[in-house]
Structure 1
Amino acid sequence: MPRIRTLLAALTAVAVTLTVAGSMPAVAAPAPLDTSQHLRILAIGDSITRGVGSPTTDGYRAYLTSYLVDVGQYTTTDMVGGLVDGLGPQPQHEGHGGWRIDQLTAEAAGWVTTYDPDVVLVMGGTNDALQGASATTMGNRLRGLLAAILTTDPTVRVIVADLIPPYGSDQKDTASLLSRQFNAQIQAIADAASPRVSVARMTRAVPSRLLADGVHPDDEGYERMAWVWWQCLGPILTADGITRTGRDPLPQPVPQTELCTG
């Protein structure tokens, strides 16, 4: 019901503007989420979302939960999804090992319909790069994934992560180049999709040396990933949410505006 009320209010606002101005208004940035309501976060992606490389397979998800605790949001937050991994209190997700972006797209509408998230965290593309997909193909696949999510629920907030370039073999080195080329497109793709989409700049916080096997982060890498997600998630929970976060795990602080763009 809160989602329906929000949508009706938005439609009413647009109707009033059209009546007064007689033309289509500019799209305004969405307001912060109402944290008095129960918050549902859906993480979708590949084995990095699942937490491979972390001894407990909690990945970034357990660390992200700690930031929700810090702002008093934990008891009204659910990580949602059909898969369960890790020892943390919010182990649900949709991180599918080996999946490409187009495979995520095929299931995205169903996940959004089933779990009704307020926020979707998206990190995909590493497997596309490892399988030799061109950066152009990867970009088109990301456009399709965002369209599937936003067509199913235009009110949802989406945070898309860039890719941490793999390393350690000829295949991974090629994937590293493709990942960098893909990363260069992500902001434009997000901007074109909706003002409700922002970009989490993992590459500003997680160097490739923190990939335990050349693909998946180790626990330090996952902790840093959670911090980047939070730099995007905190401000959309409350207008001042970013000022009430926990410990910054980065050895050198990086401005929030460089970790989260859009």
Structure 2
Amino acid sequence: MDKVKPKKHLGQHFLTDLRIAQRIAEAVTGHWDVKKVLEIGPGMGVLTDFLLEKDWDLYLVDIDTESIAYLHQKYPKLGEKIIEGDYLKKDFAPIMNGDYAVAGNFPYNISSQIFFKVLEERAHVTEVVCMLQKEVAERIASPKGNKDYGILSVLLQAFYDIEYLFTVPPGVFNPPPKVNSGVIRLQRNSVQNLACDEKLFFKVVKQGFATRRKTLRNCMKVFNVSPELNADPVMDKRAEQLDVQEFVSLTQKIQESWNQ
């Protein structure tokens, strides 16, 4: 098999620039001394080649049957570590058997879903180094007060330290996407549990950004908060003005208001 044809319905844009692939591979640090790496959507293995040079305990997962056949032919020694399946639907905890890092050139159409899956697996995913649409990458790494700051920014920054590493132009892909890409690195922080009900925290963050132009007083009506909390100065702010700890504090206040 000479090559794999990129498939539009899978959002495939294969990286062709070896220097960029090398930079992405070198950005994987083995955070918390983790040696296992799961590459999502390896395609024809351009990034895989450089990850293998680093001697990681490497696993590959791809939903594309053609890519899987190509990868088995190219990397026969990986054997069962080449996994055909959907990362979003597969339980990788028993497969990886411990902590692991995630790397990859994420399909634009499912990149946000991949990060929500990472959040679910945060007890085991210690690091993520990936390339995705530049706007999404900037949003994830954005600090509070920025127009790009949103739901994924808060939820991921609650559990990961995030760096925007570099921008990648469309011309280094086959086929070229219509937008620039960005490479980011997420490294697990020391937070094991938030100081509030985490399910409620997720709901509060999502509700806050559902109508981001409105104040929190308007956004939080669905939670039936007490008159005292409704008068709190924090309710005069908009969601993009709150950092992670301020969202944790708001979640605590909502919980307390129900007990008054």
Same fold (TM over 0.5): no
Larger gyration radius, structure 1 or structure 2: 2
More helix by share: 1
TM-score when scaled to structure 1?
A: 0.39
